[in-house]
Amino acid sequence: MSGVRVLVGTRKGAFVLTSDAKREQWEVSGPHFAGWEIYHVKGSPADPDRLYVSQSTGWHGQVIQRSSDGGKTWEPVGNQFTYDGVPGTHQWYDGTPHPWEFKRVWHLEPSLTDPDTVYAGVEDAALFRSNDAGQTWQELAGLRGHGSGPRWQPGAGGMCLHTIILDPSDPQRIYIAISAAGAFRTDNGGETWRPINRGLKSQYIPDPDAEVGHCVHHVAMHRSRPGTLFMQKHWDVMRTDDAGDSWREVSGNLPTDFGFAIDVHAHEPETIYVVPIKSDSEHFPPDGKLRVFRSRTGGHDWEPLTKGLPQSNCYVNVLRDAMAVDSLDSCGVYFGTTGGQVYASADAGDNWAPIVRDLPAVLSVEVQTLP
């Protein structure tokens, strides 16, 4: 019988939530790696039992864990992320040059076809790849070698490469996003990259239309339309239909277009989800109401989804990697909050219920649909 496995990264460990296809009764496993910050947990599309975990602390740095049995057992693998050549400098908060320094892995993206190949998006921003199941890591240095690196700068959370999207129709094409540099694309497997930020407007940087410097929070794609991307920028929800060559705003009637998370329905490529957050200084939902907004028209027209979500006195945040969907016939949607709740909807967002309420602050949520 099919089911789902929800992989949750939190400030103090990882949790695995499992259910059958009804998604009513849940088994909670964890904390795994108790006490460590778990920025991301993700399973291989090619082998659902292969999981990768980014584990870190300020004291002891980065560790990568791997499971080959769906999270029953774990094995620490390689944690050496060395920038290729002379790292160079990027812009610091005050505009001065600052040397590139590895801090942590924000996002792990397993290959669509090979369980032993996995990409890592890191802070300070760079993209690494492992072809040996995480034992060793090599930088895809063409990204930082694009030439705009000295103009990249950290967002409030650090200068992180947080989004990696592998094009299912073209193994040579990868999209990534960096806060605060913007989105980039390679069409030759990571050898060379170009910024894809035309159409983004960021009033908080000196040139609102700059080639780089935009604080992109997250990007999502439906695998049936790999040229269409949806972006939650610092402010603004954006869309491209030409693989990032040009973007247009689709914030429409959202109560605020600031936010972090964005995702696409598993079976409806024009149905997208965001969680509007009041502002960059007040990282909580407007009016204390936790509302997911859904657009069935690829943006512009949004409806609030509130059933089962707290509609008063709610002041949590939903971080950029903390929303995911399953691919069961009735698409499930999931998100985690900085208050430690993980909410699930088994009917595409119409009704919500918490799976768990009191975890540590949730950093990431990923979902595996199991056979």
Partner 1 sequence: MIRVALPAHLRTLAQVKGDVMLEVHGEITQRSVLDALEASYPMLRGTIRDHDTQQRRGFVRFFACEEDLSHESPDAPLPDAVARGEEPFFVVGAIAGG
Which spans of this chain sit near partner 1 (rule: CB under 8 A)? 33-36, 57-63, 76, 79-80, 82
Tokens of 166: 């592998």
Instruction: Closer to partner 1 by CB, 101 or 303: give it.
Output: 101
Residue type, 283: H
Cβ within 8 Å of residue 303, ≥6 positions away? 293, 294, 295, 296
Instruction: Closer to partner 1 by CB, 65 or 153: give it.
Output: 65
Instruction: Closer to partner 1 by CB, 80 or 224: give it.
Output: 80
- State the minimum distance, in angstroms, from the CB of residue 59 to partner 1: 4
Instruction: Closer to partner 1 by CB, 309 or 363: give it.
Output: 363
CB-based contact 120:133 (threshold 8 Å): no
CB-based contact 284:277 (threshold 8 Å): yes
Instruction: Closer to partner 1 by CB, 53 or 108: give it.
Output: 53
Half-sphere exposure of 276 (CA within 13 A, CB side): 23
Instruction: Closer to partner 1 by CB, 11 or 198: give it.
Output: 11
- State the minimum distance, in angstroms, from the CB of residue 285 to partner 1: 24
- State the minimum distance, in angstroms, from the CB of residue 159 to partner 1: 19
- State the minimum distance, in angstroms, from the CB of residue 180 to partner 1: 24
- State the minimum distance, in angstroms, from the CB of residue 145 to partner 1: 20
Instruction: Closer to partner 1 by CB, 26 or 74: give it.
Output: 74
Instruction: Closer to partner 1 by CB, 37 or 249: give it.
Output: 37
d(CA 299, CA 59): 42
**Is the alpha carbon torsion for 326, 321, 355, 27 positive or negative?**
positive
Instruction: Closer to partner 1 by CB, 64 or 277: give it.
Output: 64
- State the minimum distance, in angstroms, from the CB of residue 215 to partner 1: 25
Residue type, 122: V
- State the minimum distance, in angstroms, from the CB of residue 56 to partner 1: 10
d(CA 263, CA 177): 15
Cβ within 8 Å of residue 275, ≥6 positions away? 259, 260, 261, 285, 290, 291, 292, 293, 318, 323, 335
- State the minimum distance, in angstroms, from the CB of residue 60 to partner 1: 4
Element holding 55 (H helix, E strand): strand 51-57
DSSP 139-178: E-TTTGGGS-GGG---BTTBSEEEEEEE-TT-TT-EEEEE
Residue type, 170: D
Instruction: State residue 189 phi and psi, 5-degree precision.
Output: 70, 15
- State the minimum distance, in angstroms, from the CB of residue 33 to partner 1: 7
CB-based contact 285:312 (threshold 8 Å): no
- C-alpha Rg value of the chain to the nearest Å: 19
- State the minimum distance, in angstroms, from the CB of residue 69 to partner 1: 17
Instruction: Closer to partner 1 by CB, 15 or 36: give it.
Output: 36
d(CA 315, CA 248): 30
Nearest of 39, 13, 35 to residue 321 by alpha carbon: 39
Tokens of 2: 């099919």
